[in-house]
Amino acid sequence: MDRYEVIIYWSDVDDAFIAEVPELKGCMAHGATREAALANAEGAIAAWIANANEFGDPIPEVKGRVLLVA
Protein backbone atom coordinates (compact mmCIF):
# COMPACT_ATOMS: atom_id res chain seq x y z
CA MET A 1 0.00 0.00 0.00
CA ASP A 2 2.80 2.41 0.79
CA ARG A 3 4.12 2.35 -2.78
CA TYR A 4 1.15 3.99 -4.48
CA GLU A 5 1.67 7.61 -5.43
CA VAL A 6 -0.21 10.04 -3.15
CA ILE A 7 -0.64 13.68 -4.14
CA ILE A 8 -1.38 16.04 -1.26
CA TYR A 9 -2.63 19.60 -1.70
CA TRP A 10 -4.56 22.25 0.21
CA SER A 11 -8.22 22.88 -0.67
CA ASP A 12 -9.74 26.23 0.32
CA VAL A 13 -13.18 24.87 -0.54
CA ASP A 14 -12.82 21.96 1.88
CA ASP A 15 -10.60 23.84 4.35
CA ALA A 16 -8.42 20.73 4.52
CA PHE A 17 -5.52 18.95 2.91
CA ILE A 18 -6.64 16.54 0.18
CA ALA A 19 -4.72 13.33 -0.55
CA GLU A 20 -5.43 11.73 -3.94
CA VAL A 21 -4.22 8.31 -5.12
CA PRO A 22 -4.25 8.67 -8.92
CA GLU A 23 -3.60 5.00 -9.66
CA LEU A 24 -6.74 3.92 -7.75
CA LYS A 25 -9.74 5.58 -9.41
CA GLY A 26 -11.73 7.65 -6.94
CA CYS A 27 -9.40 6.93 -4.02
CA MET A 28 -8.86 10.04 -1.93
CA ALA A 29 -8.94 11.29 1.64
CA HIS A 30 -8.54 14.50 3.59
CA GLY A 31 -7.17 15.79 6.87
CA ALA A 32 -6.45 18.92 8.87
CA THR A 33 -2.71 18.42 8.33
CA ARG A 34 -0.62 16.83 5.60
CA GLU A 35 0.25 14.02 7.98
CA ALA A 36 -3.42 13.38 8.77
CA ALA A 37 -4.35 13.43 5.07
CA LEU A 38 -1.60 10.90 4.32
CA ALA A 39 -2.66 8.64 7.20
CA ASN A 40 -6.26 8.80 6.03
CA ALA A 41 -5.14 8.07 2.45
CA GLU A 42 -3.41 4.91 3.66
CA GLY A 43 -6.71 3.80 5.18
CA ALA A 44 -8.54 4.69 1.96
CA ILE A 45 -6.03 2.64 -0.06
CA ALA A 46 -6.57 -0.37 2.20
CA ALA A 47 -10.37 0.00 1.88
CA TRP A 48 -10.14 0.45 -1.92
CA ILE A 49 -8.08 -2.73 -2.27
CA ALA A 50 -10.33 -4.70 0.10
CA ASN A 51 -13.39 -3.59 -1.85
CA ALA A 52 -11.76 -4.54 -5.18
CA ASN A 53 -10.86 -7.97 -3.78
CA GLU A 54 -14.40 -8.49 -2.48
CA PHE A 55 -15.95 -7.80 -5.88
CA GLY A 56 -13.21 -9.44 -7.96
CA ASP A 57 -12.13 -6.17 -9.56
CA PRO A 58 -8.56 -5.79 -10.81
CA ILE A 59 -6.08 -3.97 -8.61
CA PRO A 60 -3.70 -1.71 -10.54
CA GLU A 61 -0.03 -2.46 -10.12
CA VAL A 62 2.13 0.28 -8.68
CA LYS A 63 3.67 2.28 -11.51
CA GLY A 64 6.62 3.50 -9.49
CA ARG A 65 6.94 6.72 -11.46
CA VAL A 66 9.77 9.10 -10.79
CA LEU A 67 8.75 12.75 -10.78
CA LEU A 68 11.15 15.18 -12.35
CA VAL A 69 11.23 18.83 -11.40
CA ALA A 70 12.72 21.29 -13.86
* Residue 42 confidence (pLDDT): 97
- Domain membership of residue 26 (yes or no) is yes
Model pLDDT for residues 11-70, shown as the tens digit of each residue: 999 999 999 999 999 999 999 999 999 999 999 999 999 999 999 999 999 986 666 555
- For residue 7, name the pLDDT band (cuts at 50, 70, 90): very high
pLDDT of 10 strictly over 90: yes
* Residue 70 confidence (pLDDT): 55
Structural domains counted in the chain: 1
* Residue 1 confidence (pLDDT): 59
Relative to beta strand 16-20, strand 28-31 is: antiparallel
Opening angle at CA 69, ends 15 and 5, nearest 5:
55
Note down the domain range covering 28: 7-55
- Domain membership of residue 19 (yes or no) is yes
- Domain membership of residue 47 (yes or no) is yes
- Domain membership of residue 65 (yes or no) is no
CB 46 within 8 A of CB 67: no
